[in-house]
Amino acid sequence: MALSSLVLVAASLWAWGYPPVAPVTDPASIFAPNLAVPPGTTTGSLDKEIIRRVIRRHIDEVKQCYEKELTANPTLAGRIMVEFTIAATGQVTGSVVQHSTMDNSRVENCLVQAVGRWQFPKPVGGDIVIVAYPFILGPAPMLLVAGGNDGAGEVEVEGLVNGVVVHRSPDANGVPSNGLILIDTAWNESQTEAILRYGDEHLKQPWIGAVITHDHNDRAGGVGALLRRRIPVGAVDLTVASLEKRGVRGVRKLFAAATGAYKDDRGFEAFYPGPGHAPDNIVLKLNDVVFGGCLIKSTAAPDLGFTGDANLAAWPAAVRRVSERYGKITVVPGHGPVDATGDVYEHTLKLLAAQKR
């Protein structure tokens, strides 16, 4: 099964190394069509979709800025937030880098200059519109082939943005699930083993640990592959107890839910916001990326998905705690596209509100 492209991939959280680049057949697929318009900064207005449409027309210019440097640095990737001003005429009268994780001034300057040449429709009802737009660029995704008798299929890994590797795997019904290397497993052990082989062959660093965000098959279905390799696996105490109750032993307690959060000296934080999608769901933050797991729904999600273990009454408060703690940074939800705007929190709350009606 061919998998749709994610927008985020990078170096391993656990192996602390950088993967080689998959063949860059179309870096435009890494382009993130997300838009943030800062409140209180405009005197006119333009529909977000109109702005996106103009940017898509110029995507080849974005590709050229990136591809020039990718040849010299095959692990180059990052998120560049460009702020630009659209004048009453529709012309861009100023563009600057607001924030960047690319750490490459040539790409950043090239992109700013390109945006400065773009023409938009005239703003409605005022003189100017100020836009902040995130461009997320990285090498093309790599497909891994998993083999086995447990519903195996392709696993997709993508690299390099903010020092995080994203993996995506489908279940036997084709439902894709996101994880990070190594936060959560794939749906099954053979898919998880394919991810481990990828690390062995490309990251070439020892696996020093993994974290499970809650006890569902899309998070822990491949944990056996980790334990067989004697890779330390940690989880909140609630998840450890749930796994042991169904006969899965060997996962260690990372922290107690009652303590709320745990900071690891390897550079990540695990946070228990309270029950929501599941009684034991945690989120993790590393390198300005939040892995929201199934607690946070993607902006493409039409509903809450599986709610058999959910606490619908407590779920909204858990989402708000995550949003308040980490703010509007890049979020990788448990399913669906990566979000660079923070809109996933509000979307999840809207889905929860609709569920109550």
Residue 167 β-bridge partners? 157, 179
What tokens were used for 346? 């509000």
Cα(80)–Cα(329) distance, integer angstroms: 13
Q: pLDDT at residue 160 above 60? A: no
More confident of the two residues 106 and 328: 106
Fold match between 27-137 and 142-356? Answer: no
- What is the pLDDT confidence band of residue 133, given thresholds at 50, 70 and 90? confident
Domain 142-356 top-level CATH class: alpha beta
Task: Please report the pLDDT score of residue 35 as a whole number.
Answer: 33
Query: Of all helices (H) and strands (E), which one includes residue 251?
Result: none
CB neighbour class for 311 (10 Å; exposed up to 12, middle 13-18, buried from 19): middle
Is pTM beyond 0.85? Reply is no
Cα(136)–Cα(8) distance, integer angstroms: 8
Strands 142-145 and 176-180: unpaired
Domain 27-137 top-level CATH class: alpha beta
Delimit the domains of the chain by residue range. 27-137, 142-356
Task: Please report the pLDDT score of residue 43 as a whole number.
Answer: 53
CB neighbour class for 334 (10 Å; exposed up to 12, middle 13-18, buried from 19): buried
Are residues 197 and 208 in contact, defined by beta-carbon separation less than 8 angstroms?
A: no
On average, the pLDDT of the chain sits at: 79
Q: pLDDT at residue 188 above 70? A: yes
What tokens were used for 98? 């607001």
Task: Please report the pLDDT score of residue 266 as a whole number.
Answer: 76
**Per-residue pLDDT tens digits for 8-36:** 222 222 322 222 222 222 222 222 323 33
What amino acid is encoded at 162 in this protein?
N
